[in-house]
Amino acid sequence: MTRKALIIFLLFFAAWTCVLPVSIAGAQETDAAVEYKIKAAFLLNFAKFINWPEKSFSGDNQVFKFCVLGDNPFGSSLSAIESRTVDSRKVDLLYVNDLEESKKCHLLFISVSEKNKLAAINKALSEHAITTVSDIEGFARDGGIIEFVTRGDKLAFIINLSQAREQELKIHSALLNLATEVIQ
């Protein structure tokens, strides 16, 4: 394992272990709530290991737009993201309801509630430098960039590197090394 891969692994592990005590302490929480707390931690770490083309930002002071399209499965788990930065850019958390709003995002989580519209969403966003992420089954194979999957009892992810390249996104090799599968 390279040094960078080890660093990323440690970041993901740290994010995961920060969420685990919360889930143990709040035993009344559902498994889904715990799962989405872990996914929220992953999302911020994904953003730290992806480079967007310069044209994605109008200037050095433009915020990083972190969006959720459709129903919000995260509850309040994403609220802490707004106090963070990505490449020295303040994170702006947005809940969007349509494709036009989605085109302004840098990282877009597509909720399962949008499953029936997925083909149209992927087509509309395919010419924009937007990192799309979802837990819809088959998302990465259908043109999404990162798909959350469950392998046994562990959360993992698939990266569609081919689609990322088409959208001028550069994914750090260390993140690719952590993916369960990379679609070339």
Threshold 0.95, pTM exceeds: no
Q: Which of 25, 74, 4, 119 is nearest to 132 (CA)?
A: 119
Domains in the chain: ranges and CATH: 3-183 (3.40.50)
3-state secondary structure 63-119: CEEEEEECCCCCCCCCHHHHHCEECCEEEEEEEECCHHHHCCCCEEEECHHHHHHHH
Residues 6+ apart with CB under 8 A from 58: none
Task: Kindly state the tokens that stand for 163.
Answer: 């689609």
Q: Which pLDDT belongs to residue 17?
A: 40
The string of pLDDT tens digits covering residues 124-161 is 999 999 999 999 999 999 999 999 999 888 999 999 99
